[in-house]
Amino acid sequence: METLYWKEGVLYVLDQTLIPYRIEYVPCRTHTEAADTIRSMQVRGAPAIGAVAAYGMVLAALGATARDREELRGALALACRRLEETRPTAVNLRWALERMMAKAEAVEGDAGTVCTALLSEADAIFREDVTANEQMGAYGQGLVPEQARILTHCNAGALATAGFGTALGVIRAAHRAGKNIEVYATETRPYMQGTRLTTFELIREGIEVTLITDSMAASLMSVRGLDLVVVGADRITANGDVANKIGTYGLAVLARFHGIPFFVAAPRSTIDMRLAGGAQIPIEERDHDEITHFRGQRVAPEGVRVWNPAFDVTPNELITAIITEAGVLRPPYGPALREIM
């Protein structure tokens, strides 16, 4: 099952808001439609939204009525802004858009040539992400014991990427290597990516998974015991601080207290060397209804104040290792990240 695919000038995006009930694809024929799938969370996960944005730029180029390069440049710049403003935290979005803009600038020829070049660049972004995830899986599974209880948070699987997944890629690779894996997935309040998506992916893959509420993690660590935690990332800054789904920071603190290794798996497209530390990462704040309502039904009293940040920042000192497609990085992360970037 593809998270997204391109066919005959149309981008098809798997509608993740319908999983696990239905498998349906949203056809996108314009960059605005592609942007809408990101904004509405029909597609989510840092590398997946980067790939959708890349194809969104192809749609913008194809749809532009530009007669010359200058007009096309203007249309692409506008599309780039529209796509970038959809979600602020995952840097893969900006990374993919900058790569597409650079390609549009670099290629010589008419508007048609630019369109062709942009499509092959988007395809490359897609393919490279799958390869990076497989490489991360190969490196990361080396950190997993033969018999392992693993906790993961949110969904950093095939659904969050072009394929295979980052944190779930590590788990997949360990499972395929014949290791005896038992996964605990947090439900991931309030958007329930763990409940809806991670369990869905793992069950389909035949990997043993147990769903817990977010607040059970401490008890899981102390009562049942855990061998490691592995999560994905939305942005990693130059010092190794990691923005990921809200609740990740708390899990890292708990893991440190219980002496459990805490791993982050992310491709280089998630690393933002322009930011020195996690305090500079823009954190998306989402609709209050996600907390005050349950299945469309209000569960909190009218007028209650709400804070709903979608991500938090885990300080680098709580992270045992960062798994990338270029290898496993250990602290101090500053020099290790500079080396691979």
Residue ranges in contact with ligand MRU by CB under 6 A: 44-47, 90, 154, 156, 160-161, 166, 193, 232-234, 244-245, 310
- CA distances, 128 to each of 59, 134, 295 (Å): 20, 10, 37
Burial class (CB in 10 A: 0-12, 13-18, 19+), 35: buried
Catalytic annotation present for 234: yes
The least CB distance from residue 62 to ligand MRU, in Å, is: 27
> Residue 292: is it exposed, middle or buried by C-beta count within 10 angstroms (0-12/13-18/19+)?
middle
Residue nearest ligand MRU, Cβ-based: 232
CB 236 within 8 A of CB 226: no
Task: Closer to ligand MRU by CB, 156 or 322: give it.
Answer: 156
Q: Closest CB to ligand MRU among 166 and 314?
A: 166
Separation between Cα atoms, residue 208 and residue 121, nearest integer Å: 37
Complex with ligand MRU: residue 76 or 194, whichever CB lies closer? 194
Tokens linked to 186: 């947090």
Closest contact distance (angstroms) between CB of 251 and ligand MRU is 12
Minimum CB separation from ligand MRU for residue 3, in Å?
11
Q: Find the catalytic residue in 68, 123, 129, 234.
A: 234
Q: Give buried/exposed letters for 56-72 (b at 16+ CB in 10 A, else e).
A: bbbbbbbbbebeebeeb
**How far is 99 from 110, CA to CA, in rounded Å?**
19
Q: How far is the CB of 309 from ligand MRU (least distance, A)?
A: 11
Q: Which is nearer to ligand MRU, 64 or 141 (CB)?
A: 141
Which H helix or E strand runs over 25?
Answer: strand 25-28
Indicate which residues carry an active-site annotation: 234
